Structure 1
Amino acid sequence: MLDDTDRRILRQYQADPEAGASVIAERAGVTASTMARRLERMQSAGILRGVRGEVNWPALGYAVEVSLRVTLDKTQPRAFDEFIAAARRVPEVIEIQTFLGQVDVRLSVIARDMGHYQQVYRDQVLPLPHIADIEALMHVARVKSDESLPL
């Protein structure tokens, strides 16, 4: 699906997405128009999902991040759908992942401090539907956070 030129463009784009189009094209060894056409094709194909801004949550006063591992009551036929729909409405839930295995869902929750986290947990997380068990893991450090692919 991707040829060597596409991979070179993606490598350069991942390495420095804020570089100008002409800089990325030069580093990838293609013209700016070739790069633009190929990026557009990759966006149309769903390979590139778009450009986004990354917010530094601690800089905005969110000092606490907790991973909640949730096991759902799977005797309810719509447990996953109803839980996920409700969890999406909690503003402090910044990520939802589903799994196969003992843990069904992982929520990543941010809060300003422990008091705020306790309020979010009690008032917004615990009332979520179909929870059979929940385990909290307090984040200490983010050692690696990288969505770049080895192309």
Structure 2
Amino acid sequence: MLDDVDRRILRQFQAAPDVSIAELADRCSLTTASCWRRLEKLESSGVILGQEVVVDWQALGFAVEVSLRITLDKTQTTAFDEFLAKARTVPEVLEIQTFLGRVDVRLLVIARDMTHYQEVYRSRILSLPHIADIEALMHVARIKSQEALPV
């Protein structure tokens, strides 16, 4: 399990993942070697899964974000697998989540504008297999978006 030093490393690393190991060690009051070993241990144990670049899709001209709640026709045993396989191929789908309950799947879809969204919706989303019902929620504002975990 994580100790206080590991938590301190994770807090600092989440706040500034692009700092050097030496700077991270300094922020955590550790030696560079000790900090590096602990980071390696956190990675090898699966606590740190990796680093990624976050691209602001709005800066690339995408202005529309829609959350689609989808209920699947589950009369066929392969409905989930077939739907998910096809949904993964739609470039404008940024996120796919599955649920237990009335809604089976949520897709996060982006588009350049409403015309582009309608094109994506009609040609790519509605052609996905086994859809019984869709509810579209148009994104208005992002109030909180946080990747860092409270460690």
TM-score category of the 2 structures, normalised to the smaller one: over 0.9
- Distance, in Å, in 1 between the alignment partners of 2:34 and 2:78 is 47
| Secondary structure of 2:58 counterpart | helix
- Following superposition, the deviation at residue 150 of structure 1 comes to 0.8
Could you say which residue in structure 2 is the equivalent of 1:57? Answer: 57
Counterpart residue number, 2:105: 105
| 1:1-151 alignment runs, 5 A limit | 1-151=1-151
1:110 alignment partner, SS class: strand
User: Any gaps of 5 or more consecutive residues in structure 1?
Assistant: none
- Post-superposition Cα deviations, 1:66-87, rounded to whole Å, max 9, x if no partner, equal 0000001111101111111100
Amino acid at match of 1:54: V
What is the letter of the counterpart of residue 38 of structure 2?
R
Distance 2:28 2:76 in 1: 52
1:59 counterpart letter in structure 2: A
Matched residue SS, 1:59: coil
Give the CA RMSD over aligned residues: 0.8
Rounded to whole Å, the distance in 2 between the matches of 1:62 and 1:54 is 15
- Secondary structure of the residue aligned to 2:59 is helix
- C-alpha displacement at 1:135, in angstroms? 0.5
Q: Structure 2: which 5+ runs fail to align? A: none
Paired residue secondary structure (1:102): coil
How high is the TM-score relative to the length of structure 2? 0.97
CA distance in 2, matches of 1:139, 1:51: 27
Query: After the TM superposition, which segments of 4 or more aligned residues of structure 1 sit over 3 Å from their partners?
Result: none
Write the distance in 2 (CA, Å) between the matches of 1:107 and 1:52. Answer: 21
Paired residue type of 1:128 = L
Q: Deviations over 1:108-145 (max 9, x none)?
A: 00000000000000000001011110000000111111
How far is the alpha carbon of 1:20 from its aligned partner? 2.1
TM-score by length of 1: 0.97
Identity, % of aligned pairs?
66
Secondary structure in structure 2 of the residue aligned to 1:68:
strand
The offset of 1:16, in angstroms, is: 1.3
